[in-house]
Amino acid sequence: MTTPPSPGLVKIHLTRSPCLVLPEGASVPLSRKDAALLAILAVDGSAAKDLVATMLWPRDNPQGSRLNLRQRRFRLTRTAGAPLVEGDDQLRLSSRVEDPLSALAEGPGTAVAPLGADLLDGLEFDDCPDFAGWLRQARPAWRQRLLDRMARESDHLESMGRLREALAMSQQIVAANPYSDLAHRRLIWQHFLGGDLGSAMAIYQAFCNRLASDLGELPDDATQNLVARIRQGEFASTPTLMPSTAKQWLPRCVGREAQLAALQQAWTQRQPVLIEGAPGIGKTRLIGEAIRRLGIHRALYLPAYAGTTERPYALLARLLSALWAAPHGLKPQGQRSLPEWALRELSAVLPELHERGNEVQATRLLRAVEIALSQADIDLIVLDDLQQADLATLELLPALAQPTLPPWWLACRAGERPAALDTWIRAAGAPLMLEVLPLDSAAVSLLIDDVDALGPLPADAAESIHRASGGLPLLAVELIRSMAEGVFGDGLPPSQDMANHLRVREASLPPDARQLARAAAVLRAPIPPQTAAAILGDSPDRWRQALRQLDAIHWVDGDARMHDMIGTCLREGMPDVDRIRLHEQIAHWLEHSQGPGVEAALHHEAAGRPVLAAPLYERAAQEAARAARVAEQARFQQQAARCWEAGGHLDKAFEALRASIGPLTMGQGVDAALPVAERLCTLARWPRQHLLARLELADLALHRGHYADAERLAREHLPVAQTLKDVDATLQAGATLAYALGGQTRADEAFQTLATLQGLLPQASVDARRHFLSAQAAVCWQAGQLARCAQHTQALLDLLVEQQQWSDATVEVSNLAAIRTQQGRFAEADELLRTTRTWRDFLGPLEGHMQAGLDVTRAVTDLGLGRVASALQHAWRALHECQRSPELGRIGARAAEALVRTHLCAGQPGAARQAQARLADVATPSVRARAWLLMAAIDSAEGQLSEASLEQAFSAATDAKDPLLQLRVQAEQLCSRPGHADLAAIEAVEQQARRLEQDALAARLAWHRVGIWLAQGQGAPAAALAQQLLDDSAQPEDILPCHWLDLGARALQAGQLSGSEAVARRARAAHATSTEKLPPDEAPPRVWPRFAKGRS
């Protein structure tokens, strides 16, 4: 498309007689070397400064060559009034220079200039042999780029109906490529469209003769097939587009000079931009106009689609696919040049990239995306309709807004800006905000000034159109076109709303175009001829003609998608019977074409058939569950419940709503699930339903840590379940009661409750057995019986794998790994977590609290193995996910605790104190006790007294009635001051920890005793205990492997036992692991700070 250059841009001509064309129109000839410098940068995009200097001034020494280059740049800047070449070591053309290929003709209707001379034609460079060699290679590439640009322009002119210009350009392309099948097919087709079948066949015959005489070949299959179909009359329904002497009206982009100037400045500074405005205001048109004026020819445009908001990284996946795999992708197969590790990371969002799927790790994924974009060779990325984008992709954008990566231009509806963009706007490096407002009457007058081709308009048309359209460009153009075509007679639009104007316009359309417009409005998706035929019947050719008519009045875009404002007006003005029939037809087509079930459900619901929609929503919920998309699963179950209720199926509505509570809790937390459970209570009609609804409330009380409330509800309803002889409900009530008792440190009562219900298991459903096994494991965990807890968790895991419940199985693997960390078996925990990767074929990216829980376990495991960077990353990600809820919650508290412990192990007490502050507002006694316990450890690490914090921790642990917490407080009290340690008391607490199966805590206390003995100069007992601990499978918590290994090496050396050197080597290797991927100033020390003296 051709547009005049924007103000401030300098054009360069690099063929015969090279010159600059300044913004005011003056032409300035270029010297030979100046032209050569600009040619290098125009063709290659960028070049090293030293290389350019050597190529153009080969006889000078390097310093002299650089001086010559600097003088040339200065003179060019002085001539143009602004720098034309940017960069220090790497040179590139300034953004003030218009792309030399951006304008192929001076304007619509003018004759197309011939291809003309080659790059720097007629100039000699015998004194620059390296540049002369470069020029010989660059000329064919330059000419091919010009031809490719002309081909795209010819196709565009053809689509606009400007056949005379398209033909002129296609003839030049054929002259330059006399053996090109593609060029000849374009020319043959355009002659046919123009009604000149004789010329089309003559061109084909001449092409055949040329190939036969020169090459001994025939045209390719595609060319022969096109000609055969033309001869057979297959395109008889294709309208011929005869060249017209009158211009076709192409509305200009008016009233946007300020926004275009701002975009030009942002482009110059490579600054991200966020454009906001109402629907129909022209956001996309503004971006397109800026791209054309700035000569940006490698821009990637991608709109966000409705329905993907809850799908993490959905927009990122489409961006990468559009870049590499789309038919007209800017970097076809570009993924092949990426390193394997990057492919593995990107496979988390595009599984086809690597045979070994990967979990989404935000930091590594970000690095992989950076590499992919840096190698993509694109100038700009445009993301449109971001009000429909997924949160995960939006959260990546601030980190991807880097000077070394393509700039981002973003567009969003006013008033619907996602929260992630709000956060970015308030942060450093925020995007430039551009608000697009309605046009004023002067801008509307400028549109009318160009409308002579469509006929005269009344004198006061501008004011009337401005008033009727509200200044929205889309509606103003529609009104101008309607008036010029006599839709309103000889006068102005009547004083009715815009929807009525569009309906008047709709009534003037041919019947097929009107029917297709209505179908497009109801479908709200692209409707190419094949889709129209499937929905409305008949052949695609019939609807191809109707689609052209809608395209001609700009009601659909190039993808056959109707503008949403026009679609809304048509839907609202459509008779109910027609709209309902179309919804029915579309739903039928979607179901029989295996289309998205949710979309079919939406159309069934809109057609007033909720009972047909409900099963489709439930099927979508099952698919989401298999892929671990818990937010979608909950939403679809709630939509199914709504449809069942609307259709009068209240029992099915109850079951569907109940099925949403579990995934809602897992994805968004208890606060989001509680109103749904309360709604479930109001929906219950029968005794069993009331029972199940109240048990859901009891389960949510457990998740909140409100064990007394959970116990009360369970005790009230366990007899009801037994009276109803409902085995599943009895087991659920009993399991909830046992869990609540265990949470109140009443383990004996909990085990007794479970024992009385054990006999019901053979009669129970799989879901009830799962609930019961989960309660058994939880009670054992609370009682400190980790071995039994592991057995029950393994049994539950086996049941879930047998049922192929991969999402819940992933949660239980995390639970089992957490048990192993308490037992000090971090390598086993790591291996367990790795097994979940084999289930990635069945699961998508994890979401919500489910992902957060897995991240916390991974953080604790990585810390035990000394992988500090990974532990920090997973703890931060879990904490970020949990902070979206009003309360931090149980998983959020665990995430904050893991973050504090990791900072402490890495020797960063200041960062640990900042992380600990996140626990200040948590009211649960057990979390409060842990928070004070962490504060005591921070005080001790900073050399401060920790007695006050320990007293607070002991008080909270007593309130929580948690013996394990009380044990940890005792341990910290004894270890907080190594200089005054009581070895016997520490050993006594250590033995108590072993009796409670807290082997990781016991190992930490034991290594503490080793350190104390070393500090006291008692090498023999230190060495004996160190040898025992090194042989033990249990490793300590809250001590990095490099620290306890270093302590062990020193103890063995002090006790004169063998093996100290081997252990010291292990310590050095472990330290290398702990410092990996960390900045030097954040790396943990080589020795345990509590016992740093006496290092061997």
Region 768-796: what's the mean pLDDT? 91
H helix intervals, 410-458: 419-425, 441-449
pLDDT of residue 44: 79
**How does pLDDT run across 833-878, given as a tens digit for each residue?**
888 776 654 555 566 667 788 889 999 999 999 999 999 988 888 8
Q: Specify the pLDDT at position 629.
A: 73
Which run of H or of E encompasses 273?
strand 273-277
* Ranges of each domain in the chain: 11-155, 178-243, 257-437, 442-580, 784-845, 853-922, 924-976, 993-1096
For residue 100 the two structure tokens come to: 């030399």
Instruction: Name the strands in the sheet holding 299-303, side by side, starting at the edge strand that comes first in the sequence.
Output: 299-303, 380-384, 408-413, 273-277, 432-435
Cβ within 8 Å of residue 513, ≥6 positions away = 546, 549, 550
- Note the pLDDT tens digit of each residue in 335-376: 888 888 888 888 878 777 776 555 556 677 888 899 999 888
Q: Token match 């055949």: residue?
A: 208
Q: Per DSSP, which regions of 322-463 are E strands?
A: 380-384, 408-413, 432-435
> In terms of residues, how long is the chain?
1096
DSSP state at residue 117:
S
Phi, psi dihedrals of residue 685, rounded to the nearest 5°: -120, -35
Q: Which of these, 399, 415, 324, lies nearest to 362 by C-alpha position?
A: 399
Q: Which phi and psi angles does 707 have, rounded to 5°? A: -70, -35
Q: d(Cα 878, Cα 539) in Å, to the nearest integer?
A: 54
- Higher-pLDDT residue of 210, 163: 210
In a 10 Å sphere around its CB, with 0-12 CB exposed, 13-18 middle and 19+ buried, how is residue 82 labelled? middle
- Whether 533 shows a pLDDT value over 50: the answer reads yes
pLDDT value of position 809: 86
What torsion do the CA atoms of 673, 676, 678, 684 make, to the nearest 10 degrees?
-140
708 closest CA partner among 679, 675, 746, 672: 746
Residues 795 and 773: beta-carbon distance below 8 Å: yes
Are the beta carbons of 431 and 410 closer than 8 angstroms? Answer: yes
Is the pTM here over 0.75, yes or no? no
CA distance 654 to 632: 19
Query: Where residue 497 falls among pLDDT bands split at 50, 70, 90?
Result: low
Report CA torsion sign: 1075, 1080, 1083, 1088.
positive
User: Closest Cα partner for 874 from 1082, 835, 882?
Assistant: 882
What's the CA gap between 636 and 617, in Å, rounded? 5
- If one compares 116 and 543, the residue with the highest pLDDT of the two is 543
Contact 841, 1051 (CB under 8 A): no
Query: Is the pLDDT assigned to residue 295 strictly greater than 90?
Result: no
Residues 6+ apart with CB under 8 A from 826: 820, 861, 864, 865, 1035
How far is it, in rounded angstroms, from Cα 248 to Cα 451? 9
Q: In whole numbers, what is the pLDDT of the chain averaged over residues?
A: 83
pLDDT category at 485 given cuts 50, 70, 90 is: low
Q: How many C-beta neighbours within 10 Å does residue 682 have?
A: 7
Which conformational region is residue 123 in: left (phi greater than 0), alpha (psi within -120 to 50 degrees), or beta? beta
Q: Write down the CATH superfamily of domain 257-437.
A: P-loop containing nucleotide triphosphate hydrolases (3.40.50.300)
Per residue, the 3-state secondary structure of 476-525, as one string, reads HHHHHHHHHCCCCCCCCCCCCCHHHHHHHHHHCCCHHHHHHHHHHHHHCC
How sure is the predictor about 670, in pLDDT bands with cuts at 50, 70 and 90?
Answer: confident
Q: Rounded distance, CA 341 to CA 289, Å?
A: 39
Among 325-329, 497-501, 627-631, 670-674, top mean pLDDT goes to 670-674
pLDDT of residue 103: 45
d(CA 631, CA 335): 31
Residue 609 CA to residue 587 CA, distance in Å, equals 10
- Cβ pair 390, 313 in contact under 8 A: yes
Residue 1047 CA to residue 1066 CA, distance in Å, equals 12
Residue 691 has pLDDT above 90, yes or no: yes
Sequence-ordered strand ranges (E) for 329-465 = 380-384, 408-413, 432-435
Q: Find the mean pLDDT for residues 693-708.
A: 91
CA distance 46 to 38: 10
Mean pLDDT of 564-574: 82
pLDDT mean over 903-908: 90
CB 407 within 8 A of CB 287: no
Q: What distance in Å separates the CA atoms of residue 120 and residue 744, rounded to the nearest whole number?
A: 86
Output the pLDDT for position 141.
Answer: 80
Neighbours of 51 (CB within 10 A): 15
CA–CA distance, 850 with 856 (Å, rounded to integer): 10
Closest CA to 735 of 796, 817, 668: 796
CA-CA distances (angstroms) from residue 47 to 14, 42, 54, 344, 779? 18, 10, 12, 32, 68
CA distances in angstroms from 273 to 94, 382, 472, listed in the order given: 19, 10, 22
605 or 122: whose pLDDT is higher?
605
Question: Can you state the percent helix, strand and coil of the chain, rounding each to 5?
Answer: 65, 5, 30
Whether residue 1071 contacts residue 1049, with contact meaning beta carbons closer than 8 Å, is answered with no
- Which pLDDT belongs to residue 448? 78
Q: How far apart are CA 542 and CA 995, in angstroms?
A: 82
Element (H, E) at 870: helix 868-882
| HSE-up (13 A, CA, CB side) for residue 940 | 24
Mean pLDDT for the stretch of residues 391-407: 88
Indicate the pLDDT class of residue 484, thresholds 50, 70 and 90.
low
pLDDT in tens, 949-961: 989 988 888 888 8
d(CA 602, CA 583): 9
* 100-114, 171-185, 637-651, 738-752: least confident range: 100-114
Which pLDDT belongs to residue 721?
93
Rounded distance, CA 574 to CA 164, Å? 40
> Cα dist. 108→4, 150, 988 in Å?
11, 15, 92
Helix ranges restricted to H, 163-220:
163-176, 181-193, 197-214
Tell me what percent of the residues of the chain surpass a pLDDT of 90: 31
pLDDT, residue 689, reads 94
Lowest mean pLDDT among 314-323, 522-531, 886-895: 886-895
Nearest partner of 707 among 930, 380, 499, 961, judged by Cα: 961
* pLDDT tens-place string over residues 210-262: 888 888 888 887 788 778 767 766 554 444 443 333 345 567 788 889 999 99
Per DSSP, 26 falls in state -
> In Å, what is the CA distance from 829 to each residue of 334, 458, 817?
38, 80, 4
- The residue type of 635 is R
Q: State residue 385's pLDDT score.
A: 87
Residue 355: phi and psi, rounded to 5, are -65, -25
Rounded distance between C-alpha atoms, residue 542 and residue 545, angstroms: 6
Tokens, residue 870:
């990974």
Q: Are 11 and 300 in contact (CB under 8 A)?
A: no
CA atoms of 371 and 549, how far apart (whole Å): 44
More confident residue, 709 or 884: 709
- Higher-pLDDT residue of 118, 886: 118
Query: Which phi and psi angles does 331 have, rounded to 5°?
Result: -140, 70
What percentage of residues in the chain have a pLDDT greater than 70? Answer: 87
pLDDT at residue 564, rounded to an integer: 74
| pLDDT mean over 684-706 | 92
Predicted local confidence at residue 483, as pLDDT: 67
Q: Out of 25-34, 216-225, 246-255, 712-721, which region has the weakest mean confidence (pLDDT)? A: 246-255
The single residue listed with the structure tokens 């790497």 is: 90
With cut-offs at 50, 70 and 90, classify the pLDDT of residue 828: very high
Show Cβ contacts of residue 689 under 8 Å, excluding neighbours closer than 6 positions. Answer: 651, 654, 683
Q: How far apart are CA 408 and CA 426, in angstroms?
A: 17
Contact 497, 518 (CB under 8 A): no
**pLDDT at 145 (0 to 100):** 79
Q: What is the pLDDT of residue 245?
A: 35
Range 543-571 average pLDDT: 81
Please provide residue 171's backbone torsions phi and psi, each rounded to the nearest 5 degrees.
Answer: -65, -40
Residues 6+ away with beta carbon under 8 Å from 762: none
How far apart CA 498 and CA 509 sit, in angstroms, is 17
